[in-house]
A and B are shown apart, each in its own frame.
Chain A
Amino acid sequence: MSDTMSTGTAPGATSVSTGAAQRRSRRRRGRRATLTGWGFVGPAAIIILGLSFFPAGWAFLLSLQEWDGFSDAEFVGTGNYTDLISDSDFWNAVWNTFGYTLLFVPASVLLGLFLAVALNRKIRFIGFYRTAIFVPFVASTAATGILSTYLFSPQYGVVNNVLRVLGLPQQGWLADPHQAMLVIAIMSLWGQAAFTTVIYLAALQDVPSELIEAARIDGANRWQTFWRIVWPHLSPVTVFVAIWQTITAIQLFDLVYTTTRGGPLGATKTIVYFLYEKAFHSLQFGYGSAAAYALFALTLIITIGVVIYSRRRNLEAF
Chain B
Amino acid sequence: MSTNVFEKVVTSSERVATRPEGGRRQKRRRGFSGWHFFLLPVAVLFLIPFIQMLLASLSPARELVTFPPPFIPSHLTLDGYIKLFTDTDVLLWFVNTVIVSAISILSNIVLCSLAGYGFARLKFAGRTFGFFAIVATIMIPTQLLMIPTYILFSKLGLLNGLGAAIVPWLATAFGIFLMRQFFLSLPAEIEEAGAIDGCNKLQIFFRIVLPLAKPALATLAIFTLLSSWNDLVWPLIAINNDQAFTLQLGIANFQSTRHTEWSLLMAGNLVATLPLILFFVFAQRQFIATMTFSGIKG
Chain A residues engaging chain B, CB cutoff 8 angstroms: 1-2, 4-5, 7-8, 30, 33-41, 43-45, 47-49, 51-56, 58-59, 62, 69, 114-115, 118-119, 121-143, 145-147, 149-151, 155-158, 161, 164, 190, 193-195, 198-199, 201-203, 205-206, 236-237, 239-241, 243-244, 247, 251, 253-254, 257-258, 272, 275-276, 279-280, 285, 288-289, 292-293, 295-296, 299-300, 303, 307
B288–A198 contact, CB under 8 A? Answer: yes
B77 contacts the other chain (Cβ, under 8 Å)?
Answer: no
Say how far A310's CB is from chain B's closest CB, in angstroms. 9
CB < 8 Å A-B pair total: 350
Knowing A143-B251, A289-B147 touch, does A115 contact B195 (C-beta < 8 A)? no
B36 contacts the other chain (Cβ, under 8 Å)?
Answer: yes
Q: Which chain A residue has the least Cβ–Cβ distance from B278?
A: A138
Say how far B122's CB is from chain A's closest CB, in angstroms. 4
Q: In the complex, what residues of A have CB within 8 A of residue B152's CB?
A: 55, 58
B43–A129 contact, CB under 8 A? Answer: yes
B53 contacts the other chain (Cβ, under 8 Å)?
Answer: yes
Say how far B101's CB is from chain A's closest CB, in angstroms. 12
Q: Which chain B residue has the least Cβ–Cβ distance from A233?
A: B8
Task: Find the residue from B40, B64, B168, B236 having the highest chain A CB count within 10 A.
Answer: B236
A140–B255 contact, CB under 8 A? Answer: no
Knowing A44-B112, A51-B145, A198-B291 touch, does A150 contact B232 (C-beta < 8 A)? no
Size class of the contact patch on chain B: 35 or more
**Please, could you name 23 A-B residue pairs with CB atoms under 8 Å apart, sorted by A?**
A2-B195, A4-B201, A34-B126, A37-B123, A37-B127, A40-B117, A41-B114, A44-B175, A47-B170, A55-B152, A134-B280, A134-B291, A135-B281, A138-B273, A139-B273, A139-B277, A142-B249, A143-B273, A146-B254, A147-B269, A195-B291, A285-B147, A295-B143
B111–A47 contact, CB under 8 A? Answer: yes
- CB < 8 Å neighbour of A40 from B11, B43, B115, B248: B115
A151–B145 contact, CB under 8 A? Answer: no
**Distance A69 CA – B118 CA, assembled complex (angstroms):** 40
Q: A124-B33, A142-B248 are in contact. List 17 more A-B contacts (CB 8 A).
A: A7-B122, A38-B118, A40-B114, A48-B172, A53-B140, A118-B35, A118-B38, A123-B35, A127-B22, A128-B43, A138-B277, A150-B53, A155-B65, A198-B13, A202-B15, A206-B12, A257-B252
Q: In the complex, what residues of B have CB within 8 A of residue A54's CB?
A: 148
**Distance A190 CA – B233 CA, assembled complex (angstroms):** 20
Q: In the complex, what residues of A have CB within 8 A of residue B22's CB?
A: 121-127
Q: Which chain B residue has the least Cβ–Cβ distance from A202?
A: B12
5 shortest interchain CB distances as A-B pairs? A37-B124, A40-B118, A126-B22, A1-B200, A140-B230
B230–A146 contact, CB under 8 A? Answer: no
**Distance A150 CA – B276 CA, assembled complex (angstroms):** 21
Q: Which chain B residue has the least Cβ–Cβ distance from A193?
A: B46
- CB < 8 Å neighbour of B143 from A190, A251, A300: A251
Q: In the complex, what residues of B have CB within 8 A of residue A190's CB?
A: 46, 49
B149–A51 contact, CB under 8 A? Answer: yes
Knowing A44-B114, A142-B272 touch, does A55 contact B288 (C-beta < 8 A)? no
A49–B137 contact, CB under 8 A? Answer: yes
Knowing A132-B47, A136-B46, A203-B8 touch, does A126 contact B145 (C-beta < 8 A)? no
B68–A164 contact, CB under 8 A? Answer: yes
